[in-house]
């Protein structure tokens, strides 16, 4: 994290509202992509992101190390998404089409089958796949965000990859005819 962001975190901790707004504008696209990977609809995604920003604003003085602002607010967002889902007692499908299409840097834009396969993964697998491949975070960073050991993150990534491969293999069909892998 660059020194300007750390300076804005310190200013925000001292009550500078404009500094906090600059921080949020800087990470807003990342927050949206993470929330949309967990939540069912656009409205739920925006609600979760808004609640996370409010909670971060109200508790930013509790952040001990400004360089971890992004990790800290991402953790708040994931908790908020989980809380909203528990309160609504819903299954968690991933809105991958919107996520991946909004990422121009991704090579996955045109891969509908992959998007569909990711959307069928369990919540824990979708989160680590999204953070690792879409947000380009390291295993260590993901471990900090989801508050799980690095080994757990690695095993979830491994299992998610295997499930994705199986889902994609099951979907290799053209015109109703199943083709075997060569």
**Could you read off the pLDDT of 146-176 as tens digits, one per residue?**
889 999 999 999 898 888 888 877 765 444 4
User: Could you tell me the CA-to-CA distances from 168 to 125, 164, 179, 182 in Å, in that order?
Assistant: 15, 6, 12, 14
Which is more confidently placed, 135 or 6?
6
pLDDT of residue 119: 79
- In angstroms, rounded to a whole number, what is the distance separating the alpha carbons of residues 94 and 37? 5
Instruction: Average the pLDDT over each of 49-58, 110-119, 160-169 and give the range with the smallest value.
Output: 110-119
Joined tokens for residue 105: 């840097």
pLDDT of residue 51: 92
Cβ(37)–Cβ(95) below 8 Å: yes
- In angstroms, rounded to a whole number, what is the distance separating the alpha carbons of residues 173 and 110? 17
Instruction: Average the pLDDT over each of 74-88, 102-116, 162-176 and give the range with the smallest value.
Output: 102-116
108-172: CATH, from 3.30.420.40, 1.10.260.40, 1.10.10.10, 3.40.50.300? 1.10.10.10
Which among 50, 18, 40 is positioned nearest to 91, based on CA atoms? 40
C-alpha angle with apex 61: 147 to 54, nearest 5 degrees? Answer: 75
Task: Tell me what percent of the residues of the chain surpass a pLDDT of 70.
Answer: 79
Which among 105, 129, 104 is positioned nearest to 117, based on CA atoms? 129
Q: What is the pTM of this model?
A: 0.57
Domain boundary assignment for the chain: 1-92, 108-172
DSSP lists the bridge partners of residue 173 as: 178
- In angstroms, rounded to a whole number, what is the distance separating the alpha carbons of residues 130 and 156? 12
**Structurally, what CATH architecture does the domain formed by 1-92 represent?**
Orthogonal Bundle (1.10)
């Amino acid at each position: 994290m660059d020194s300007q962001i750390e300076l804005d975190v310190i200013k925000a901790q001292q009550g500078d509202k404009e500094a906090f707004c600059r921080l949020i504008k800087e990470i807003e696209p990342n927050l949206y992509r993470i929330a949309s990977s967990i939540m069912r609809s656009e409205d739920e995604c925006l609600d979760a992101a808004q609640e996370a920003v409010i909670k971060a604003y109200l508790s930013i003085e509790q952040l001990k190390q400004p360089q971890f602002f992004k990790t800290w607010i991402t953790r708040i967002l994931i908790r908020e998404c989980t809380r909203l889902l528990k309160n609504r007692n819903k299954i968690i499908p991933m809105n991958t089409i919107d996520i991946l299409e909004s990422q121009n840097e991704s090579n996955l834009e045109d891969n509908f089958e992959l998007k569909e396969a990711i959307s069928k993964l369990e919540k824990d697998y979708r989160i680590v796949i999204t953070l690792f491949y879409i947000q380009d975070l390291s295993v260590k960073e993901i471990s900090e965000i989801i508050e799980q050991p690095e080994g757990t993150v690695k095993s979830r990534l491994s299992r998610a990859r295997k499930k994705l491969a199986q889902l994609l293999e099951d979907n290799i069909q053209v015109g109703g005819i199943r083709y075997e892998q060569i």
